[in-house]
Amino acid sequence: MMLLHGISTMDRGLFITVEGLDGSGKTTQIAKLKGYLEDNGHIVYLTREPGGTPLAERIRDIILDKSSGNVLPLTEFFLYLACRYQHTYEVIKPKLEQNVFVISDRYADSSVAYQGGGRELTRNLVMTFNKVATGGLEPDLTFFIDLTPEEAIKRIEKTGKTKDRLEDQSISFHQRVREGYIELCELFPDRIKRIDGEGSAEEVWEAIRKEYSIFWSNKGVNDHEK
């Protein structure tokens, strides 16, 4: 990355993902992050998983719909992978190549936490298949907004929305998902930043902004040294 008249010139856009339990407040924080990056002169594209393309949005409906019945863990994982492959090649990679900053509400780490941890498919299996579905693409930076499952469920119930098939899982499922995320933070400390999600939206945003600033200034130094 070079700074030219205060505007970044990079050979590709940044890929940022936001992760966490359902109810962790990702949507609010993603909107703030988008505004902040735009104010800093970047073109930002918001997307989500499962979803982000017409086909993947249709698969999303199938995965989350309770009428899909008994969806076996591997079947569930393959559906997320189908979404991921389509999303990566149809949207994320082309956008990044056009120097656009892409923010995705969830990406491959969600499968490690939910299918690997929650559904107990194991981390290694999930990471192996993820590599195929992402073509090896990894986010440059990931924010994991961390909240206890008890607090996350309280927040979902407060919204009054009907829970989808995944949100309707037990507390112990969500506990395993959270543990999956915590393990990922330990494995990839440079990429994944754990953000305490218990505070107010403003407090959480302040923590994200701070981490982003640190990342951005390190990135400038690292790119300069290349």
Q: What is the contact surface with ligand TYD in residues (CB under 6 A)?
A: 22, 48-50, 64, 80, 105-106, 110-111, 114-115, 164, 166-167
Nearer to ligand TYD, 19 or 194 (CB): 19
* CB-nearer residue toward ligand TYD: 8 or 174: 174
Min. distance of Cβ 217 from ligand TYD in angstroms? 30
CB 44 within 8 A of CB 105: no
Minimum distance from residue 211 beta carbon to ligand TYD (Å): 21
Backbone angles phi and psi of 71, in degrees to 5: -95, 115
Nearer to ligand TYD, 3 or 62 (CB): 62
Amino acid at 31: A
Backbone angles phi, psi at 139, to 5 degrees: -65, 150
Instruction: Find the shortest distance in angstroms from Cβ 179 to ligand TYD.
Output: 15
Helix H or strand E segment including 145: strand 141-146
Rounded to whole angstroms, how far apart are CA atoms 161 and 155? 10
The CA-atom distances, in angstroms, between 40 and each of 7, 152, 153, 154, 187 are 8, 31, 35, 35, 30
Q: Smallest distance, Å, CB 110 to ligand TYD?
A: 3
- The residue written with tokens 């591997």 in the block is 74
Among residues 189, 199, 161, the alpha carbon closest in space to that of 25 is found at: 199
- Hey, which residues does 9 pair with through a beta bridge? 2
- Are the CB atoms for 188 and 182 separated by under 8 Å? no
- Judged by CB, which is closer to ligand TYD: 32, or 219? 32
Rounded Cα distance, 42 and 34, in Å: 9
Tell me which H or E stretch contains 105.
Answer: strand 101-105
The nearest distance, CB 54 to ligand TYD, in angstroms, is 16
Minimum CB separation of residue 108 from ligand TYD in Å reads 7
CB of 48 or CB of 194, closer to ligand TYD: 48
Residue nearest to ligand TYD (CB): 114
Q: Which is nearer to ligand TYD, 84 or 193 (CB)?
A: 84
